[in-house]
Amino acid sequence: MQSNFSLYLRLSLMMFFQYMLFAVWWVPLAAYLANMGLSRSLSALILSSMAIGCMASPIIGMVADRYFKGQVVLAATNFIVAVMLLLAGLTSNPVLLFVFLLAAMIFYMPSWGLTSSITMKHVDSDIFPRIRVFGAIGWVFAGVFSLFTVRVLSLEFDGTHIPFLYAAGIATVAALFNLGLPDTPPLAKGQKASFIDIMGFRSVKLMKDRNFAVFIFLSFFAMIPFSMYWSYFSEFLADSGFRFISITMNMGQFLEMFILLAVPISIKKYGLRNTMIIGLIAMIIRYASLIIADGDLQMPMIMTAVFVHGVIFGFFYLGGQIYIDRKAPPSLRAQGQGFIFFVTFGVGLLAGNFISGEIIRIYSTEVAGEVTYRWDYIWGITTALAVICALAFSILFRKEDYSIIEPGQDTGS
């Protein structure tokens, strides 16, 4: 029992630090870029540093699969992230800011897949949500830095460079802690690495399974409406007069803590397919509520949009991670987790950021330095995209065969 407690505690703290160090600076980033007065395209590019970083996820996953212990890879990447975020907090040059954040994200984003594969190596996939929930706790706890800065230090937090400095410190603590994680040797050590392995794309073979292919393609498409909240919601809140942007958005992660614990219950009762559909329906509810977020309904509708975040992320995206863990053979699970992040928070978020940014540009005007947004049109278009995604997934994702797909096996129909 003591051994299991120690294992769960270390894995839980791993998740806690890993997501807290990201949330503390990412959540208010769009508001910071808006305060810098950057163009829409440059802001979208900087916001896409995360998406570009996700494209490195399969590569880091392959390194963990073949060459180095997972906990060592995680510690090394976090040390690099700490340095890059410190530099980002010390510069006011937008080009250098992009360079530093891009470097930070190239080494940080693979950690989402890596922390999942490390956890699933030591605990059953049904236990995984109980560990992953501490990532949500860390995300919510990041709001404490905002309160401390404003209330104790009497400084502004959201829309400033200060979040980068906090994140650099947290990343350093996380890196030191990672060195004490359970030993996670590479599962595919000694196997010959081809160019496909080096790029981390051997898991693409899993797409010979029809359901897996549908899941991958629609996960990509879902990132287009998802990006409007993920990357630009802090800009919407700033335009709506919110001061504590980080705390407001982190309330969504507060509910996520409980939602993540409900994921295995939902999967057991309703099945994995229906669980993921619930997540997509929640995305429709989010954007539909924002269409009518005006006047007396502004606060309740905005909070509705914030609180359903946990349902969207937990039921659809975490459900997807569990799906991959059940379908992929052991030697490809780290790459499989990296691959889904490449598709969603990599290519999907990259496309979504620019598409969402263009939608905002079309439905906003600037006069004498003041920007006026047509948020009703913006949220209307985003709602329509969410509806299309949910309907397509409901129709096309039919089969619930969770037998492991071996490389080269064709289970499609």
Structural Rg of the chain based on CA atoms? 20
Q: Is the pLDDT of residue 199 over 70?
A: no
Q: Is the pLDDT of residue 231 over 60?
A: yes
341: DSSP letter? H
Cβ atoms of 164 and 89 within 8 Å: the answer is yes
| CA pair distance 334, 61, nearest whole angstrom | 5
Q: Output the six-digit token pair for 124.
A: 């059953």
Mean pLDDT across the chain: 86
pLDDT score recorded for residue 108: 92
Q: Is the pLDDT of residue 48 over 50?
A: yes
| CA pair distance 259, 205, nearest whole angstrom | 32
Average pLDDT score over residue span 71-83: 94
Cβ atoms of 255 and 310 within 8 Å: the answer is yes
H helices of 94-182, in order, are 94-108, 110-122, 128-141, 143-147, 162-178
Q: Is the pLDDT of residue 405 over 60?
A: no
Amino acid symbol at 371 = V
β partners of residue 370: 367
pLDDT score recorded for residue 413: 37
pLDDT score recorded for residue 61: 64
| CA pair distance 146, 402, nearest whole angstrom | 43
Position 64 confidence tier, pLDDT thresholds 50, 70, 90: low
Q: Is the pLDDT of residue 403 over 80?
A: no
Average pLDDT score over residue span 308-329: 85
Q: Is the pLDDT of residue 200 over 60?
A: no
pLDDT score recorded for residue 355: 95
401: DSSP letter? -
Position 366 confidence tier, pLDDT thresholds 50, 70, 90: confident
Average pLDDT score over residue span 79-95: 96
Query: Could you give the domains of the chain?
Result: 9-185+196-396 (1.20.1250.20)
Q: Output the six-digit token pair for 394.
A: 């409901």
Q: DSSP 3-state assignment of 371? A: strand
Q: What is the pLDDT of residues 246-272, one digit of tens each?
A: 888 888 877 777 887 788 888 888 888
Q: At what angle do helices 333-341 and 110-122 cross, to 10 degrees?
A: 150
Q: pLDDT: is 413 or 346 the higher one?
A: 346
Q: Is the pLDDT of residue 291 over 90?
A: yes
Please state, as a whole number, how many other Cβ atoms lie within 10 Å of the Cβ of residue 143. Answer: 24
**Exposure string (b/e) for 204-237, b if CB count within 10 Å is 16 or more?**
bbbbebbbbbbbbebbbbbbbbbbbbbbbbbbbb
The share of the chain scoring above pLDDT 90, in percent, equals 45
| CA pair distance 299, 371, nearest whole angstrom | 22
| CA pair distance 121, 28, nearest whole angstrom | 34
Residue in 86, 85, 138, 145 with CA at minimum distance from that of residue 115: 138
295 membership: H or E segment, kind and range:
none
| CA pair distance 25, 29, nearest whole angstrom | 6
